[in-house]
Amino acid sequence: MTETTRRTMVLGAGSAGLAAVLTACASYGSPTTEASAEPPEDEASSDAPKKKTEKKAAKALADTADIPKGGGKVFESQKIVVTQPTDGDFKAFTAVCTHQGCTVASVSNGTINCPCHGSKFKIEDGSVADGPASEPLAEKKITVDGDKIRLA
Ligand code: FES
């Protein structure tokens, strides 16, 4: 008898507590709050596809058509130089000169050229073609995906 009474009391307290929680939840989701929160969400979702596109575009370092055959191009902001020693064979190296850290400025006559003290590096493998630099430009891994060149 005593046990049954206790259960009833516990259940009773539980139900009352549950009712209080439900009431509390219902009052949080007032129509005014939801209505004012909706417009920014819609704007954010319409921007989402644009952001994805921008992110993809930013990842591609260059188009294959941007890199001259038998030459290359310096991407100063990324500190990368991409070369195409032979048709369809793309290579990438750091654009930071191993002599004293200048950024290489041009690619011509088969070499990547540093403007600071005249070091030249071969477009095939970044090795030194002319000093004063004595170390090669470190190769960077890239992937060619269709007509897009991306850092790997
Ligand atoms: S820093 Fe490039 S040649 Fe000196």
Atom of ligand 1 nearest to the CA of 97: 2
Q: Are both 80 and 40 inside the same structural domain? A: no
pLDDT in tens, 89-135: 999 999 999 999 999 999 999 999 999 999 999 999 999 999 899 99
Tell me the CATH number at 135.
Answer: 2.102.10.10
- pTM strictly above 0.75: no
Do 17 and 81 have their domain in common?
A: no
Pocket flag, ligand 1, residue 117 (CB < 6 Å): yes
Same domain, 48 and 100: no
Residue nearest to atom 4 of ligand 1 (CA): 117
* pLDDT, tens digit (0-9, with 9 covering 90-100), for 44-69: 444 444 444 444 444 788 999 999 99
pLDDT value, residue 131: 87
For ligand 1, say whether the CB of 94 is within 6 Å of any of its atoms: no
- Of ligand 1's atoms, which has the minimum distance to the CA of residue 114? 2
Q: Is the pLDDT of residue 72 over 90?
A: yes
CB 93, CB 112: distance < 8 Å: yes
Q: What is the spatial distance between Cα 80 and Cα 132, in angstroms, rounded to a whole number?
A: 20
112 or 20, higher pLDDT: 112
Same domain, 105 and 54: no
**Shared-domain flag, residues 49 and 74:** no
26 pLDDT higher than 60: no
Tell me if 98 sits within 8 A of 135, measured CB to CB.
yes
Q: State pLDDT tens for residues 2-15.
A: 444 444 444 444 44
Ranges assigned E (strand) in 1-152: 60-63, 72-75, 80-86, 89-94, 106-108, 111-113, 120-122, 128-130, 139-140, 142-145, 148-151
What range defines the domain where residue 137 resides? 62-151
